[in-house]
Structure 1
Amino acid sequence: MLSTIESVNSAVNNFIWGVPAMICIIGVGLYLSIRTGFLQIRKFPYAMKVTIGRMLRKRDASDGALTPFQAVCTALAATVGTGNIAGVAGAIAIGGPGAVFWMWISALLGMCTKFSEVTLAVHFHETNAEGDRVGGPMYYIKNGLKKHWHWLAYLFAAFGVLTVFGTGNATQVNTITTAIDSALFNYGIIEKDSVGTLNLIIGIVLAILIGMILLGGIKRIGQVTEKLVPFMAAIYVILALGVVVLNFQNIPSVFGSIFEGAFSPASVTGGAVGSFFMSMKKGVSRGIFSNEAGLGTGSIAHACADTKKPVKQGFFGIFEVFVDTIVICTLTALVILCSGVPVGYGEAAGAELTILGFTSTYGNWVSIFTAVAMCCFAFSTIIGWGLYGTRCVEFLLGTKANKPFMVLYALVAIVGATMELGLMWNIAETFNGLMAIPNLIAVFLLSGVVVRLVKEYFAGEGKES
């Protein structure tokens, strides 16, 4: 029975994250880019000015809403996760250094896709029975498309609920316990036979923290993410930049291998990765999996923003993809490639390859800091996805289901800390990809609304903002 489930899931997963899905996600991103006149490039300086300017401006949000800064931090909390560390390492190992180039290309188009998702989510948001702002793909499908398309909204929400327990919670908790176990074991603080008890304690503590934050409502979620996200990003960026600076002599050859490997992987990997398509597929899929452009999930957090200008909030979508993929994912790639650690091309790899890049440059002491960074990345993802799951459940069952869902979601942390999660991770990854289908259809059909809102924004009130 278990082997049947695994084989069925593997077939579906290969299709969802295979050629058709890549074509759809890249295709919609290219279509939106053309329709908006490549807004993400043309207005990039303006987007950075607007987003960073609003992030530095202190303000309070109305009841049931987030400030624009809290909204972007909540979205980044879910987006910037272990995929930025383990996912990039896997892409390089299986697709070669050229995968990084294709990651950049997917990010370039993904900026416009995420901009469109955020803009639509804010434009079509609602206020629920508890007075909270709610929105996301299910709401812009419901409020923006005709009734015969509304089944897509329920499909997205159903896939969302099935995804959050695995992708958003259990696998992230497992990453936290692995990072803590590894750091403590390396320093001889714990023995192998104590790991099970320690993991159970970690799971219980995390369950309590997750429950307290989520049950505290949208305000508490925003207060936690606006402090946690800048802190974790700063630690990681500083450590990664240090590796690059200390190995600066390797930078020219590394970038040469990225560009050469993008079109001729075999010439860089010694034939271990010989397929141009494999390099492209791994770069594109890992980039999308990291920045979530096309999945629609990030727009759920942005719909909570206390703003009357959808396009202005939409620029945060461009900012998010830039920070997540162009900055953090690129730094991870440079840590691996500049440090000169051996990469087993053609073989599976994960966070251990990235950590090896840090320890080979700084020494074993840095494993404590990488463990802290990984714990922050994973915990922030749990909180962000907790909000996404709550909104999906609410859309399907109403606000009365919110608190029971939050309690159940928190308790799943104990499962994640104490069990092997191989199959759960694979199934969650499949449902994660399935979420993209109804969302991409909706964004494609609502592209005219995005174009109209952009024109109105730059024709009037947006000019002086």
Structure 2
Amino acid sequence: MERLNQLTADFSSAVWGLPLLILLIGGGLYLLIRSKFGTFRLIGHAIQVLRGKYDDPNDPGQISHFQALTTALSSTIGMGNIAGVAVAISIGGPGAVFWMWISAVVGMSTKFFTSTLAIMFRGKDSAGELQGGPMYFIIEGLGKSWKPLAVMFSICGLVGALPVFNVNQLTQAINDILLYPNGVEVGFTSNLIVGLVLVSITAVVILGGLRLISKTASKLVPGMVLLYFVSVIIILIVNIEVVPKYFAMIFTDAFAANNFKGDAFFGGVLGGLILLGIKRGAFSNEAGIGTAPLAHGAAKTDEPVREGLVAMLGPAIDTLIVCTLTALAILVTGVWETTSNNGVSLTASAFGEAMPEYGKYLLLVCIAVFSISSLFSYSYYGSKCLSFLIGADKKHYYNYFYIASIILGATTTLDMMINLIDGVFALMAIPTMLATIILAPKVVKELAAYKARLKENKL
């Protein structure tokens, strides 16, 4: 097990080097500048689209704009926001949050481009059904000679979509919040039981296909975001006198790196802190990784820009809002300095500190729903990758492999899971970002045409 831990750590640090940082952040900045920040001026219009103002049941696709966003958000709002932020703060201190924000702002532009491409260059699977996602826009947009990049994305997606991190952290939360305090012995057997329960719940939904997944996600996600939001606001009100101090620390510590305990990168601790923030930001909102375009590519629309604008709201919701709430809860309660907890346990300590009687249980409800809803979405992503590789008639085999991996996630260590997923996410970003940068001029042209039609009220 120690050898495996070391291998996954080496793999993650090898792929998350300077080249990938330049590709994700440099590429995102290029897309931001290329669009002349125009997408940000259309946020109000994006909200109208999300609310269904422009929905047309006759448009090609499988699910509505709202269902596409909630399906994508159900995979990103979850452990990336609750456990991922806690991991970032426990290693990097308050300053890590600032670099997660930077990652999110750049990520909004990246999400717009990748999800617009997912609609612009939809392809057909072996069953003749319309599909969207990086592997399809690589082949349809760049040509068949680029197929190796599409294959690379799909192979990495098979592993990247596995729910091992989410399950690992949900199991840890159940142990820390429910089992330990009530005197239940925690070990391999209890973890296995949690894994088997999750297998049962997940199997029922994912074997029902995309429409059941998106319908379930669209009902679960908004309510849980609201419950989580209200819970954290209570924590901030209880600790209102120190909120300004820690909010300011997010900015000052981002450049001082006084609380950074990780490995130096590019010659210093500040480089290490920036890398940590961007890694956790990428894990939180998945911008540039290529998972969200798999969901947005199934949206019912014949306007690619429209879906890109809806997708752009994702990083704003999950990183700028949900991650910031989690970070402030951890910072203002002081648990990041007073405990050695990591991951979801650190967030649970913050909730327990501010609301001693019921705080941890509120968090457990949110974590359970976030985690379980993300289990549904990731299974869809993985089966779509397998469908591309070996045919739509065999994609259901992925679900069995996926369900089995839930047991693995419930019974292994946090470090191994986070390093494995980090590493594979990095490899998924390479084909996604390369294709997006090459195809960016076509998206810019489409955006200009869409804005012109919007101005003339022809939409």
Q: TM over 0.5, yes or no?
A: yes
SS at match of 1:150: helix
Q: 1:225 to 1:454 in 2, by over 3 A?
A: same
Letter in 2 for 1:172: N
1:260-287 deviations in Å (ceiling 9; x for gaps) = 1111122x77999983222222222211
Letter in 2 for 1:136: G
In structure 2, the partner of 1:162 is 159
Structure 2 residue aligned with 1:91, among 88, 91, 112? 88
1:424-464 deviations in Å (ceiling 9; x for gaps) = 54223311211111111100111011101101111115764
In structure 2, the partner of 1:207 is 199
SS at match of 2:361: helix
In structure 2, the partner of 1:331 is 325
Letter in 1 for 2:422: E
Show structure 1 runs of 5+ residues with no match: none
Which region of structure 1 is more displaced relative to structure 2, 103-112 or 195-204?
A: 195-204
CA RMSD across the alignment:
2.8
Q: Using the alignment, how far apart are the partners of 1:303 and 1:86 within structure 2?
A: 28
In structure 1, the partner of 2:314 is 320
Which region of structure 1 is more displaced relative to structure 2, 123-132 or 202-211?
A: 123-132
In structure 2, the partner of 1:381 is 374
Is the 1:73–1:226 Cα contact (8 Å) retained in structure 2?
A: yes
1:69-115 deviations in Å (ceiling 9; x for gaps) = 11111100111121211211221222221221111111111100011
Is the 1:293–1:321 Cα contact (8 Å) retained in structure 2?
A: yes
In structure 2, the partner of 1:229 is 221
Q: Using the alignment, how far apart are the partners of 1:393 and 1:197 within structure 2?
A: 32
Q: CA deviation at 1:398?
A: 0.3
Q: CA deviation at 1:299?
A: 0.5
Q: 1:412 to 1:269 in 2, by over 3 A?
A: closer
Is the 2:169–2:344 Cα contact (8 Å) retained in structure 1?
A: no
Is the 1:64–1:218 Cα contact (8 Å) retained in structure 2?
A: no
Q: CA deviation at 1:5?
A: 5.4
1:120-139 to 2 correspondence within 5 Å?
Answer: 120-128=117-125, 130=127, 132-139=129-136
Q: CA deviation at 1:314?
A: 0.6
In structure 2, the partner of 1:456 is 449
In structure 2, the partner of 1:28 is 27
**When the two structures are superposed, what TM-score results if normalisation uses the length of structure 1?**
0.90
Is the 1:61–1:67 Cα contact (8 Å) retained in structure 2?
A: no
In structure 2, the partner of 1:181 is 175
Q: Using the alignment, how far apart are the partners of 2:6 and 2:352 within structure 1?
A: 37
Letter in 2 for 1:276: L
Q: 1:125 to 1:452 in 2, by over 3 A?
A: same
Letter in 2 for 1:263: F
In structure 1, the partner of 2:346 is 353
Q: CA deviation at 1:211?
A: 2.2
Q: CA deviation at 1:127?
A: 4.2
Confirm whether residue 254 of structure 1 aligns to residue 253 of structure 2.
no
Q: Using the alignment, how far apart are the partners of 2:346 and 2:25 within structure 1?
A: 28
Is the 2:61–2:301 Cα contact (8 Å) retained in structure 1?
A: no
In structure 1, the partner of 2:293 is 299
Is the 2:165–2:421 Cα contact (8 Å) retained in structure 1?
A: no
Q: Using the alignment, how far apart are the partners of 1:191 and 1:19 within structure 2?
A: 46
Q: 1:179 to 1:142 in 2, by over 3 A?
A: same
Q: Using the alignment, how far apart are the partners of 2:260 and 2:320 within structure 1?
A: 23
Q: Using the alignment, how far apart are the partners of 1:344 and 1:281 within structure 2?
A: 25
In structure 2, the partner of 1:100 is 97
Q: CA deviation at 1:364?
A: 4.0
Is the 1:207–1:412 Cα contact (8 Å) retained in structure 2?
A: no
In structure 2, the partner of 1:70 is 67
In structure 1, the partner of 2:230 is 238
Q: Using the alignment, how far apart are the partners of 1:18 and 1:401 within structure 2?
A: 36
Q: 1:3 to 1:351 in 2, by over 3 A?
A: closer
1:399-410 to 2 correspondence within 5 Å?
Answer: 399-410=392-403
Residue-pair matches, total: 455
SS at match of 1:161: helix
Q: 1:271 to 1:8 in 2, by over 3 A?
A: closer
Structure 2 residue aligned with 1:219, among 206, 211, 223? 211
Show structure 2 runs of 5+ residues with no match: none
Q: CA deviation at 1:146?
A: 2.7
**When the two structures are superposed, what TM-score results if normalisation uses the length of structure 2?**
0.91
Is the 2:172–2:345 Cα contact (8 Å) retained in structure 1?
A: no
SS at match of 2:290: coil
Is the 1:85–1:332 Cα contact (8 Å) retained in structure 2?
A: yes
SS at match of 1:235: helix
1:388-445 deviations in Å (ceiling 9; x for gaps) = 0010000000012122222232233233334556535422331121111111110011
